[in-house]
């Protein structure tokens, strides 16, 4: 029996991370500060923020559009489900229980818009983070990942693989924290995001 590519991918992810489970909606607050590479705050920048467990979170209308203040900060609060899974953190035979919150941040990227997708897994030892960048496909949803080119160690747009070769994805999470406030029951996420200066190859 031949498996479809989506079935194969689902099986592979389940093997690596375990099956995702979702709890009922809980309060989540995300605070983020945006800075240039030299550390200066980016004020007056328009960003859109969305939580991965919100309805149709990859759609351009999901979440909320915000403008950074004089210190480059924004804050987004919403009630949304928390995902739970088991992730491999060391030995291939051991997986740690994790609570997962995905944060999407849409920003400008060379005249286009990109959705930077940040995965935060809270395990007993503390929060772990992963990051990827997506642009919109033909359906308007942000589901096309930037392509990494092994030979040149550069990035390119998935719909223009032979076009501009870029030295990075345009943004990098410098600091991250994730915890549940025992007093309020609210999940609190703090991010510091560097907007990179583009270099073309």
**What are the tens digits of pLDDT across the range 126-145?**
999 999 999 999 999 999 99
In a domain, 61, yes or no: yes
In a domain, 14, yes or no: no
Please give the Cα distance from 152 to 165 (Å, whole number).
8
User: For residue 63, what pLDDT is reported?
Assistant: 98
What domain range includes position 128?
A: 20-195
Burial 75-107 (b: 16+ CB within 10 A, else e): ebebebbbbbbbbeeeeeeebbebbbbbbbbbb
Per the structure, how many domains does the chain have?
Answer: 1
Alpha-carbon distances, residue 190 vs 13, 73, 134, 149, 162 (angstroms): 27, 10, 22, 31, 37
In a domain, 15, yes or no: no
pLDDT, tens digit, 9 for 90 and up, residues 20-55: 777 789 999 999 999 999 999 999 999 999 999 999
User: For residue 2, what pLDDT is reported?
Assistant: 36
In a domain, 7, yes or no: no
In a domain, 191, yes or no: yes
pLDDT, tens digit, 9 for 90 and up, residues 139-170: 999 999 999 999 888 999 999 877 888 889 99
Please give the Cα distance from 34 to 177 (Å, whole number).
15
In a domain, 75, yes or no: yes
| Residue 171 · residue 116 · CB < 8 Å | yes
In a domain, 144, yes or no: yes
pTM: 0.86
In a domain, 189, yes or no: yes
User: For residue 152, what pLDDT is reported?
Assistant: 87
Residue 81 backbone zone (phi > 0: left; psi -120 to 50: alpha; other: beta): beta
To the nearest whole number, what is the mean pLDDT of the chain?
A: 88
What is the arithmetic mean of pLDDT over 1-18?
A: 41
């Amino acid at each position: 029996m031949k498996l479809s590519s989506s079935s194969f991918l689902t099986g592979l992810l389940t093997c690596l991370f375990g099956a995702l489970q979702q709890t009922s909606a809980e309060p989540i607050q995300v605070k983020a500060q945006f800075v240039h590479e030299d550390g200066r705050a980016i004020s007056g920048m328009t960003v859109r923020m969305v939580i991965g467990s919100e309805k149709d979170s990859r759609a351009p209308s999901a979440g909320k559009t915000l403008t950074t203040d004089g210190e480059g900060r924004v804050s987004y609060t919403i009630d949304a489900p928390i995902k739970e899974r088991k992730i491999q953190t060391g030995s291939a035979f051991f997986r740690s229980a994790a609570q997962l919150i995905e944060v999407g941040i849409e920003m400008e990227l060379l005249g286009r818009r990109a959705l930077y997708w940040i995965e935060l897994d809270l395990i007993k030892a503390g929060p772990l983070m992963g990051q990827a960048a997506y642009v919109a496909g033909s359906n308007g949803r942000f589901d096309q990942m930037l392509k990494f080119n092994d030979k040149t160690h550069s990035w390119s747009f998935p719909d223009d693989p032979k076009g501009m070769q870029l030295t990075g994805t345009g943004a990098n999470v410098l600091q991250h924290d994730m915890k549940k406030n025992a007093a309020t029951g609210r999940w609190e996420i703090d991010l510091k995001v560097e907007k990179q200066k583009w270099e073309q190859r």
